[in-house]
Every structure is written in structure tokens, then in C-alpha cells.
Structure 1
């Protein structure tokens, strides 16, 4: 569904990523891990078409990402950046409705999708409130609802790219948001999520790509990637890796 081939990326004339290969298939959720400055956000920006690669190519449904008309691409690919801000006092409902701009399915359909997205992100009770009056975590959930509304119509053939979506969320909403991402993948969509929490990645991701200084250190299942020696090498932290008592996933103990 979304593919990167021999990708290299640069910012300000400095190479940030080199030799990245990634295939994001329908029905899976892939987590990107790495230290600060490893190139995680740059990778998402390149995969979304925001940042042209300095080498290699990005394909969406087999077509170069740059060949997609912007409105058509927006119906197939939605991006939640690391930070989003609005300077005007739109209501929460109006912000989520912005996700429907690429679609032309009628007002009744839009209202239904918006209501479902508000509920999925647990912000229905905030629908009429001004966006400017929200906390940081509430704003994050509103923007997640917006991108979910954007891809809903084609959730079975769409990609969702999330850059640190849990950064400002409490424990309950971290679990909620990642479960919603899993639901999108289970419905046939594809999700790529940047995370810092190794245990969240281990719990929710089908595969993990670990970046180290702009290169892929490892890519595979959580069990294959989250080995104690590799975590020590990349993050400089000594950990113990055990089996989670409730899930078939690694549990990282610091």
C-alpha cells in the first residue's frame, strides 16, 4: 500500500536518512522507534510527500507519491504531525469536519463520519467547545479525530501516518488511541506510528522499525527487534526483556 525504496532524505543540506526500505501493507500497524534525531519525523514527512527524498522513491498504491493529485492523495493518506495548532476559535466539531474536505459524499454522510470520529477519539462531549479552550491532550485527540474522518471512507485502502500521537495523552487515552489505530488496520487500512514508548510499540504494533542515526537498525516483529542487547546499543540503556503476563508481547523492564 505504501512503499519506500532505498530512501535517502536531507534537511538543510544535511543527510538525515540513508538506505531506508519499508513496505507498509494493508491490515498492519508498523511502529517506528529511535532516539531523538534518529530521523523518525523526517521519514514520515517523506512518506507523506511533504518532503521530497534526495534519493530513492515513495510509492502509494504502486504510484509515485508525487504523481498523486493532492485531493485524491488526501483521500488515501492522512497524516497526524507531531504538533498541530490553530489560531482561530473553531469548534471541535468544525476542526474534525476539516478532515472531510477531500470528500464529496454529501452532508448527511459527512455528519455521520464526523460523529463516529468524535466518538472514536473520546471528544464527543467537546464537540461544541472552542478548540482554543482545550488542553494539549484534548487538542491532540481532536486532531486524531480529524485525520480519522479524513480516511474513513476508504479505511480499507487508506494509510494513516501518526507522529507521536500519544505524547500528550494520559494513560487511558494512550491505550484508546492506539487501539483505534489497530482497528483501522484490522479493517484493511495501514498504519505507521512513531512512538517513544517501547512497551506501547511492543503491545500494539505488528512490526517495528528501529532507526539509529538515520539508518535502519532492525525491522521485524516486536520479539525480533526488541532484544536487550539491541536496546542497549541504540538507546544506551540496560534493560530486561520479559514476556508480558497478559499479552504475547515483550515487556521492557528498565
Structure 2
């Protein structure tokens, strides 16, 4: 699978939801991706603790996404350990993206790892105050973050590559939250990944229900950056 260069926009939404959209993706499909992801995340959170029951939590998230028109083609949850006993957000995000692609290696795996690092570096370098990503707003014994990389073909087909990370490791509070490292000894760290293919006809059947249940604040764009 070849990796092609494209213009990308990073959007930051409440509840630690990050989206990467290609320049050519329509606003309608962007809104559908954000709305479904936000609602599925909220629904999964009500059923399972994302830190203590990560596998069950992600399984419920994928199930809810499928009911809203996003059919999964690959789902994986990896427990991540590091030999040097340190983890970084960018590494975990990259591992989640790789988990979604599964068998792909080489150029694709390198590109996914690079995307995770690019996203985190862009956020960390931003001078804008994004409260939801401020390390002080998090309990110091748990962290969660999701990144959805959206794709749209010239024929209009849409897919979303989701990486959700969960860790109960304690961060170094003296460092920038987005760049800090956690001591991973004795902790549980998970990188969840899924590839979801969009069926707009199925989504149209539940669109009004999704829009009714979802708080408008969940779709508020807190920060937008070109990456």
C-alpha cells in the first residue's frame, strides 16, 4: 500500500478527541465522523471504565460506531510495554494506528508512527490555550486520548482510522503534558485501533437520533492546525 502526500488539518474537540482530515474531505462527512465518534465514545464510557476495562470499552465503542454506519474491517487492542520503562503519548498514538492497520509494515507503518509524532508535536508547539489538553486537568493516575485519521477517496468513499490510548501510568508533572514520558513499570497501557468504513445510507437512517442525543458542545472545534 503506497503512502501519498496530502494536505491535512488537525482539529481538537472536547473530551480529548483529535481528528485529522484530508483537505478534500467534505464538511458533511467530517461532521458525520465527529458526531458518531463523540456519541460512541460517550456511550462506551457509560458502559465500561476505559482504563480498567479497556478491551470491553473499545469493543462497545466499535459496536456503537457500526450501528451508526461505520463498519469495522480491523479491530485490535494491544497492551503496550517498553523495555526502557518509559512511554510517550506520540508513541502510544502511533501504536494504535498501527494496530488498526494490522498486517501493514514498512512504509505504511513508518508513516503512521510519524503521524502520531507530528500530531503531538503540532499540539505541543501551539501557543493557543487548549484547556482539555492541559496536563493539570487530568488525574495523575490515568490518561486517555483518541486520534481519528479520516480518509476520502476521489470516488467519495470514506474511512476512519481510529487510535485510542489508555494508560494508568503516572506522568512527570514537571514536563509539558503532550511531550512528557510516563514510567511504565507496573502500569497498564493500551493502544486500541480500528479501521471503520462509512456507509452514508445507514447513517442517514439514524442521523436525527445522533444529532438529538449529542450535545452540540461535543462538536465544538477548540483548535485547528495544518499539519
| Same-fold status (TM-score > 0.5) | no
Taking structure 2 as the reference length, what is the TM-score of the superposition? 0.30
Q: Which has the higher contact order (CA 8 A, sep 6+)?
A: 2
Instruction: With the length of structure 1 as denominator, give the TM-score of the two structures.
Output: 0.28
Higher Cα Rg, which structure? 1
